[in-house]
Amino acid sequence: MTTFLQQLVNGLSLGSIYALIALGYTMVYGVLRLINFAHGDVYMVGAYVGYYLSRKLQGKEPSLPNAILVMMGAMAACAIFGLIIERLAYRPVRKASRLTLLITAIGVSLFIENAAQLVFGADPKFFPSLAPRADFIVAGVRLTSEQITVIAVSFLLMILLRFFIQKTRTGKAMRAVSFNLDAAKLMGISTDRIIATTFAVGSALAAAAGVLIGMQIPKIDPLMGILYGLKAFVAAVLGGIGNVPGAVLGGLLIGTSEVMVVGYLSSTYRDAIAFGILILVLILRPQGILGRVTKEKV
Amino acid sequence: MKSGLRTGLVAAGTVALLLVLNSLFTGSLVSGVAMPPYILQVICLAGINIILAVSLNLINGFTGQFSIGHAGFMAIGAYASAYVTVAWGDRFRGATSFLPEFARDGALLLFSLAVGALLAAIAGFFVGVPSLRLRGDYLAIVTLGFGEIIRVFILNIDAVGGARGYSGIPKLANFFWIYLFAAITVVVVSRTVKSSFGRTLIAIREDEIAAEAMGVDTTRSKVISFVLSSALAGIGGGLFGHYLMYLHTNSFTFIKSIEIIIMIVIGGLGSITGSVLGAMLFIALTEGLREFSQYRMVLFSLLLIIIMIVRPQGILGHLEFRQFFGRRRRLDAPTPPAIT
Amino acid sequence: MRIPMRIPMRIRYLLAGSVCALLVAMLACRAGEKAGSAGGEILVGEYGSLTGGIATFGISTRDGSSQAFDEINKAGGVLGKKIHLLVEDDQSKPEEVGTVVTKLINQNHVVAMLGHVASSYSLAAAPICQANKVPMITPSSTNPRVTQIGDYIFRVCFMDDFQGSVMAKFAADTLKAKRVAILVDIRNDYSVGLQKVFREQFTKRGGTIVAEQSFSQGDSDFHAQLTQIKATNPDAIYVPGYYTEVGTIAHQEKELGLNVPLLGGDGWDSPKLWEIGGNALNGCYFSDHYSTDDPSPIVQKFVTDYKSRYKNQLPDALAALAYDAAKILADAMTRAGSTDGAKVRDAIAATKEYQGVTGKITIGPDRNAVKPAVVLKVENGKYVLVETISPEQVKL
């Protein structure tokens, strides 16, 4: 039983990382109907920015302000990075077919991965510890400070995002754009600006996930975004793509079920089972768990 | 009758031409004149890419269903046909001992490819029936999932090498076989597209609901085109294994599926000659950029983005080669895929 | 129905023409590229992963072999000629290996081939080298099948079964461990091979395998497996993986409060192991080809030269093996007095007691190196030699 609870904690902390990345996928999909393949790589860049920032801050003792500084820095850098990608690569092809947009996204992803291998080096890097660590044992289950941080920060960010989307003017505009881009434009919403904001926010969340994973794992490499990106994308689809709470739910589901499969079955089948669950859910509920049914207009 | 004769003549001519080219390239026709083996290898790999791209175009370009699982069906064909030649090759050769050497090899290859294509088609059926009810990105992600599941299962079959990879596959495929099947794929797909069944596929691509309203059994049509496409991918995979003599599941990740999609999109979605061109351009780019060693993939991805920005509809757009250049206007030129 | 044409017809022809011309030119360039420069040099090919998932291993290997050839060239080269090393990248994609090796052999006309780290990639290249009668030495592929491909394929490292037995003996006899858990990289043939031998040998020596968990290369979260292992109370955990994952595993093991030593193989050897795992690795053991602390002059010279050449980095075992493979190849060419494939092959096969960085190397009748292994202990960033175990010692 203790083992099971421990696995549950492991699963939740992995799942909240997936959820943070999945949010970016889902937000971009919501406004552009684009599977942003490069999103996993933005997450990788976030981890590297965090790595270099914390190396700069080294020498000082690990402390909470430092950790927050690194996190903020990485998020800001990636928000700008997301804006650049959107402006240079996606905006010129936004009017073309969706497949063209998708291939462009794949091209951007390949570019970031390969450029990162040249810039950062192909070998893995060790992420220095940012905050003082402590372990808590609750009912035989060991909770590390990293796991608690990951879960807490993820949820904090998700709540902030929820507030941003529901309550602020920009958030409302974002929802309008995702509902109907052309109508939103007619209502005087600057869609270009909203789409850019969406990219910035999504990329910042991915950067936060990158720093969090760096604290927890603590190994980063230029290709780390491929697998996490794919899983997070699966999570986003599972929860109902375009749906923010759905992405969180999907992330937690995928994370927990993966950990359980690895713990109680075999890691070989981990990916197969993650996809198996996805296929099953989609066949039974084609719009994802929390997705809205969209009636096609004739 | 006359057209049947003509078709026969064209087919015989193609086979003869491929045989002559094959022996010319390998240096057995004119002594001293041969294609450098590396170039020949690139040409052959381009041929396999043509099979994969043209077959995927049937689904993605003509039926308008977005699949990212092509590498999975390719893997099934590759592993199944390689298993046939490795495990049953000797028995097959014994049973066909009345044939001359080259015919025996050819018959064995054909038999193994048939098995590979059949298994890939069966897999295509079982993947297609449940998933083709889904639309757009949901279909994409489900096919991606099936592709990965197929790969994980092959990885766990010890009889085909598992994590070690499958070595010891005889080199039965060559320029002749690869381009013969590339030609067959092109003919099969273009005939399918021009048939009345092909019209229903294009109708589905243009507007699925309207097609359904017109009495088209959309699911059935989609499944048939998916199965056909999978079988052709299986043949491509079989040739891939018998040409490289080695298989590893890492060759069939979703990255491979995406590479095939890149080929059909740069060539022009919904254009068969575009797919052929895209497949050749893809390999020419990746090999041509080898010069730049570690900068190669950076340049490749930049080129890809630039092509998409400059020519979003692909090089040929939706037009066939002849339409792209020719003045002969055809009323039935297919329209581009609907932007949904 | 026709989309209105915006591009005039003439421009279209021009466009298509130039694309075709570009393609032909690219291929022609590649065809003509070599041929000329073969005059005063001996060309040796190396295929490896310089980009992609396993790039870090390919880069170490390239660094080791190019250091060896540079030393040889400074000393006057081989047969009066300089050796030129051509390295091609396979992007960590197994299907690229065939193309790259064909290119090196038929386009660049290399006389011998070095590569690869991963056995599965070597297995893809070996049949091509064999068919073209180009001798191939793999520095670090430990799977037995590689050299079984044919009589032109050699290796300078020991094989999986020996290394697995070494660790089993060390765990049972030196550590006196009774209960060992295994954590294996299931998609890596190397790891699966070691694990098989270890389990067999360790149980024969009276030990028990209490748990068996797996992961896949590239994974970064091992909490699930380690939680499961923790429940079985092992004395040690055998992790025959690569350092890229092992460092993380050690870190997470300690995080979960599991304080038993990890045991491993030569895949651990890299200064980066410590960089990733840090203090969590103290007290862990792994079997390896050599120790950088070995006082023998040849090892110390290699280490010093390597550090001055590559920004003060310590060479890992892959670099040392690649260095030895390159030196043995050059030595064989000198003894053969020729760069002819068959003669070089015979000379490599006749290598006896060659003193390399990774020990005295003799190529056996099955074209595999016969040599001892060392067991190293991780202590504060240093890998300290604990025991040397020879092939005779592990026989039961």
Which of residues 8 through 37 in chain A touch B, CB cutoff 8 A?
29, 33, 35
Query: Helix (H, G, I), strand (E, B), or coil: what is residue B256?
Result: helix
**Residue C247 and residue C273: Cα distance in Å, rounded?**
5
pLDDT digits (tens, 9 = 90+) for C318-373: 999 999 999 999 999 999 988 898 999 999 999 988 999 988 889 988 899 888 89
* Chain mean pLDDT for chain C: 86
Residues of chain A found within 8 Å of residue C218, distances taken between Cβ atoms: 223, 227
**What confidence category does residue B329 fall into, taking pLDDT thresholds of 50, 70 and 90?**
very low
Average pLDDT over residues B196-215: 88
Residues of chain B found within 8 Å of residue C148, distances taken between Cβ atoms: none
For C174, which DSSP code? Answer: I
Q: Does B293 touch chain A (CB under 8 A)?
A: no
Instruction: Reply yes or no: is the peptide bond before residue A128 cis, omega within 30 of 0.
Output: no
pLDDT digits (tens, 9 = 90+) for B152-171: 889 888 888 877 888 889 98
Q: Which of C333, C387, C284 is nearest to C135 (CA)?
A: C333
Q: Is the pLDDT of residue B82 over 60?
A: yes
- Confirm if A289 and A238 have CB atoms less than 8 A apart: yes
**What confidence category does residue B228 fall into, taking pLDDT thresholds of 50, 70 and 90?**
very high
Chains that touch A (3 or more CB pairs under 8 A): B, C
Mutate to test the interface with A, among B139, B301, B303 (most CBs of A within 10 A): B301
**Residue C182 and residue C200: Cα distance in Å, rounded?**
12
Question: Which amino acid appears at position A124 of this protein?
Answer: P
Q: Per CB distance under 8 Å, which residues of C are interface residues toward A?
A: 50-53, 55-56, 59, 186-187, 213-216, 218-221, 223-225, 227-228, 230-231, 244, 247-248, 251-252, 255-257, 272, 275-276, 278
Q: Is the pLDDT of residue C4 over 50?
A: no
The residue in chain B having the minimum alpha-carbon distance to the alpha carbon of residue C92 is: B250
> What is the structure's pLDDT at A265?
81
Q: Which of A88, A102, A80 is nearest to A33 (CA)?
A: A102
Residues of chain C found within 8 Å of residue B280, distances taken between Cβ atoms: 23
For the residues of C100-129, what is the DSSP string, one character each?
Answer: HHHIIIIIS--SEEE--SSHHHHHHHHHHH
CB distance B153–A272 less than 8 Å? yes
CB distance B304–A106 less than 8 Å? yes
pLDDT digits (tens, 9 = 90+) for C88-111: 988 888 888 988 999 999 888 999
Chains that touch B (3 or more CB pairs under 8 A): A, C
The distance of C106 to chain B (nearest Cα, Å) reads 6
**Partners of B249 in the β-ladder:** none
A-B contacts at Cβ under 8 angstroms? 124
**Residue B223 and residue B214: Cα distance in Å, rounded?**
18
Which of residues 196 through 215 in chain B touch A, CB cutoff 8 A?
209-210, 213
Q: Which of B73, B49, B48, B46 is nearest to B228 (CA)?
A: B73
Q: Does B153 touch chain A (CB under 8 A)?
A: yes
CB distance B163–C188 less than 8 Å? yes
| Percent of chain C's residues with pLDDT above 70 | 90
Mutate to test the interface with C, among B26, B79, B167 (most CBs of C within 10 A): B167
CB distance C94–B250 less than 8 Å? yes
Q: How would you classify the pairing of strands C373-379 and A141-144?
A: unpaired
Residues of chain B found within 8 Å of residue C106, distances taken between Cβ atoms: 36-38
Residues of chain A found within 8 Å of residue C52, distances taken between Cβ atoms: 117, 122, 223
Residues of chain B found within 8 Å of residue A114, distances taken between Cβ atoms: 297-298, 301
Average pLDDT over residues B172-178: 91
**Residue C310 and residue C314: Cα distance in Å, rounded?**
8
- Confirm if B202 and B193 have CB atoms less than 8 A apart: yes
Q: Which of A97, A99, A237 sits opposite B138 (nearest CB)?
A: A237
For B88, phi and psi rounded to 5 degrees?
-110, 0
The distance of B191 to chain A (nearest Cα, Å) reads 25
Query: b or e along C262-289 (b: 16 or more beta carbons within 10 Å of the residue's beta carbon)?
Result: bbbbbbbbbebbbbbbbebbbebbbbbb
Q: Does B137 touch chain A (CB under 8 A)?
A: yes
In this predicted model, which residue has the larger pLDDT, B14 or B82? B82
Which three-class secondary structure string do you get for B213-252? HCCCCHHHHHHHHHHHHHHHHHHHHHHHHHHHCEECHHHH
In this predicted model, which residue has the larger pLDDT, C10 or C165? C165
CB distance A99–B313 less than 8 Å? no
Mutate to test the interface with A, among C54, C191, C220 (most CBs of A within 10 A): C220
Query: Helix (H, G, I), strand (E, B), or coil: what is residue C263?
Result: strand
Residues of chain A found within 8 Å of residue B302, distances taken between Cβ atoms: 107, 111
- State the CB neighbour count (10 A cutoff) for residue A144: 20
Residues of chain A found within 8 Å of residue B146, distances taken between Cβ atoms: 275, 279
- Confirm if A68 and A208 have CB atoms less than 8 A apart: no
**Residue C192 and residue C90: Cα distance in Å, rounded?**
23
Q: How do the pLDDT tens digits run along chain A, 298 residues long?
A: 778 888 888 899 889 999 989 998 888 888 888 888 899 999 999 999 999 998 887 666 667 788 888 999 999 999 999 999 999 999 988 888 777 888 899 899 999 999 998 899 888 888 877 777 777 877 777 788 888 888 888 889 889 998 999 899 999 998 898 888 888 889 889 989 999 999 999 999 999 999 988 888 778 889 888 888 888 988 988 888 878 888 899 999 999 998 888 888 877 788 788 788 888 888 888 778 887 766 555 5
> What is the structure's pLDDT at B24?
83
Q: Is the pLDDT of residue B134 over 50?
A: yes
Q: Which of B145, B254, B262 sits opposite A278 (nearest CB)?
A: B145
> What is the structure's pLDDT at B240?
95
Q: Per CB distance under 8 Å, which residues of B are interface residues toward C?
A: 36-39, 41-42, 45, 155, 162-165, 167, 240, 244-246, 248, 250-251, 280-281, 284, 287-288, 290-291, 293-294, 296-297, 315, 317-319, 324-325, 329, 331, 333, 335-336
The distance of C373 to chain B (nearest Cα, Å) reads 24
The residue in chain A having the minimum alpha-carbon distance to the alpha carbon of residue C221 is: A217
> Residue A237 corresponds to which tokens in the numbers above?
């689809």
**Residue A177 and residue A188: Cα distance in Å, rounded?**
11
Residues of chain A found within 8 Å of residue B142, distances taken between Cβ atoms: 278-279, 282-283
For A140, which DSSP code? Answer: T
Q: Which of A122, A125, A264 sits opposite C55 (nearest CB)?
A: A122
Q: Which of C114, C117, C121 is nearest to C95 (CA)?
A: C121
Q: Is the pLDDT of residue C213 over 80?
A: yes
CB distance C1–B240 less than 8 Å? no
In this predicted model, which residue has the larger pLDDT, B203 or C10? B203
CB distance C50–B294 less than 8 Å? yes
Average pLDDT over residues B25-53: 86
